[in-house]
Structure 1
Amino acid sequence: MNRGVYTLALRALAPLLWLWMARRAKRAGGQWEVFSRERFGHPADGQPLFAWAAASQAAAPVSTTADSPWTRPVWVHAVSLGETRAAQPLLQALLDRGLPVLLTHMTATGRAEGQRLFADAIGRGQLRQAWLPYDFPGATRRFMRGYQPRCGLLIEREIWPNLLAAARRAQVPMALVSARYSASSLRQAKRMGGVMHEALAGLDMVLAQTVEDAARLVQAGAPVPAVTGNLKFDLVLPASQVQAGREWRKRLGRPVVSIASTREGEDAPFIDAIKRYSGQRDAPLFMVIPRHPQRFDEAARLLSDAKLPFIRRSAGVEPTPETAVVLGDSLGEMAFYYAASDVAIVAGSFAPLGGQNLIEACAAGVPVIVGPHTFNFQQAAEDAIAAGAVVRQPDPAGAVDAAIAMVHDEALRQEASRAARRWFELHAGATRRTMDALASWLD
Structure 2
Amino acid sequence: MSRYLYSLLLYLLVPFVLIKLVVRTRKSPAYGHRWGERFGFIKTLPNDKPVIWIHSVSVGETIASAPMVKALMNQYPNYRFVVTTMTPTGSERVKKIYGERVSHVYCPYDLPDVQNRFLNRTHTKMALIMETELWPNTIAACKARNIPVVIINARLSEKSARGYAKLSSLTRNMMQNIHQVACQTENDGERFKQLGLPAERLAITGSVKFDMSVDDEINNSAALLKSTWESGLGRKTKILIAASTHDGEDKPVLDAFRKVHEKLSDTLLLLVPRHPERFDRVFELSESLGFNTIRHSQATETSIDTQVIIGDTMGELMKLYATSDIAFVGGSLIKNGGHNMLEPAALGIPVLSGPSVYNFTDISQQLEDAGGMKTIQNSEQLAAVVYDLLTDDAARKKMGGQAQRFVEGNRGALQKLLKQVSETIDHLG
- TM-score of the superposition, structure 2-length normalised? 0.93
Is the aligned partner of 1:242 residue 2:242?
A: no
CA shift, 1:238, in A, is: 4.9
1:364 maps onto 2:363 in alignment: no
Stretches of structure 1 lacking an aligned partner (at least 5 in a row): 45-60, 66-70
In structure 1, the residue corresponding to 2:193 is in which secondary structure?
helix
1:35 alignment partner in structure 2: 35
Residue 275 of structure 1 contacts residue 306 of structure 1 at CA under 8 Å; is this kept in 2? Answer: no
The one-letter code of the counterpart of 1:241 is: I
Could you say what secondary structure the match of 2:242 adopts?
strand
Cα distance in 1 between the residues matched to 2:323 and 2:135: 40
Identify the match of residue 172 of structure 1 among 141, 147, 151.
147
Name which of structure 1's ranges 243-252 and 146-155 shifts more when overlaid on structure 2: 243-252
| Kept in 1: contact 2:39–2:109 (CA 8 A) | yes
Distance (Å, rounded) in 1 between the aligned partners of 2:35 and 2:344: 37
Q: Which residue of 2 aligns with 1:115?
A: 95
- Aligned equivalents of 1:408, 1:322: Cα separation in 2: 21
- Counterpart position of 2:205: 228
Counterpart secondary structure, 2:297: helix
- Tell me the amino acid that sits aligned with residue 86 of structure 1: A
- Alignment-derived partner of residue 411 in structure 2: 428
Partner Cα separation in structure 2 for residue 313 and residue 198 of structure 1 = 48
Q: Following the alignment from structure 1 to structure 2, what is the Cα–Cα distance between the partners of residues 280 and 396?
A: 16
Work out the CA distance in 2 between the residues paired with 1:34 and 1:223.
38
- Tell me the CA shift for residue 268 of structure 1: 1.1
SS at match of 1:314: coil
Q: d(CA) in 1 for partners of 2:26 and 2:95?
A: 21
> Is the partner of 2:151 in helix, strand or coil?
strand
25-34 vs 189-198, which moves further? 25-34
Kindly indicate whether residue 33 of structure 2 is the aligned counterpart of residue 92 of structure 1. no
List alignment gaps of at least 5 residues for structure 2.
231-235
Asked if structure 2 preserves the Cα contact closer than 8 Å seen for 1:80 and 1:111, the reply is no
Aligned-partner SS, 2:309: strand
Q: Is the 8 A contact 2:205 2:416 kept in 1?
A: yes
For the pair 1:398 / 2:381, whether they are aligned, the reply is: yes
User: In 2 relative to 1, CA 133–22 (structure 1 residues): closer, same or farther, beyond 3 Å?
Assistant: same
Superposition deviation, residue 418 in structure 1: 1.1
- Map of 1:16-27 to 2, 5 A cutoff? 16-27=16-27
Aligned-partner Cα distance in 2 for 1:163–1:238: 37
In the alignment, the residues of structure 1 paired with residue 380 and residue 212 of structure 2 have an alpha-carbon distance, to the nearest angstrom, of 31
What is the identity percentage for the equivalent residue pairs of Structure 1 and Structure 2? Answer: 29
Distance 2:71 2:380 in 1: 42
Give distance in 2, aligned partners of 1:129 and 1:75.
10
Q: Is the 8 A contact 2:24 2:31 kept in 1?
A: no
Aligned residues: 416
Contact 1:270 1:397 in 2 (8 A): no
- Work out whether residues 32 and 108 of structure 1, in 8 Å CA contact, stay in contact via their aligned partners in 2: no
Q: Flag the 1:422–1:295 CA change in 2: closer, same or farther, 3 A.
A: same
Equivalent residue runs for 1:9-158 within 5 Å? 9-33=9-33, 35-36=35-36, 38-44=37-43, 61-65=44-48, 71-97=49-75, 98=77, 99-119=79-99, 122=100, 126-158=101-133
Q: Report the AA paired with residue 226 of structure 1.
A: A
After superposition, the C-alpha distances for 1:146-195 in whole angstroms (9 at most, x for unaligned) are 21222100000111111111101111111011001011111111122311
CA distance in 2, matches of 1:175, 1:198: 16
- Give the superposition deviation at 1:78: 0.7
Cα deviation code 1:280-303 (max 9, x no counterpart)? 554411111111101111101111
1:43 is matched by which residue type in structure 2?
I
Cα displacement (A) at 1:87: 1.3
Once the two structures are TM-superposed, the CA of residue 244 in structure 1 deviates from its matched residue by: 1.2
- Written as runs of structure 1 = structure 2, the 5 A alignment for 1:320-399 is 320-399=303-382
Flag the 1:42–1:214 CA change in 2: closer, same or farther, 3 A.
Answer: same
Q: CA deviation at 1:423?
A: 0.5
Q: Is the 8 A contact 1:372 1:392 kept in 2?
A: yes
Which amino acid letter does the alignment assign opposite residue 7 of structure 1?
S
User: Within 1, Cα distance between the matches of 2:172 and 2:348?
Assistant: 41
SS of equivalent residue, structure 2 residue 30 = coil
1:196 aligns with 2:180: no
- Once the 2 structures are TM-superposed, how far is the Cα of residue 29 of structure 1 from its aligned partner? 3.4
Q: Which amino acid in 2 is paired with 1:427?
A: N
Q: Which amino acid aligns with 1:117?
A: I
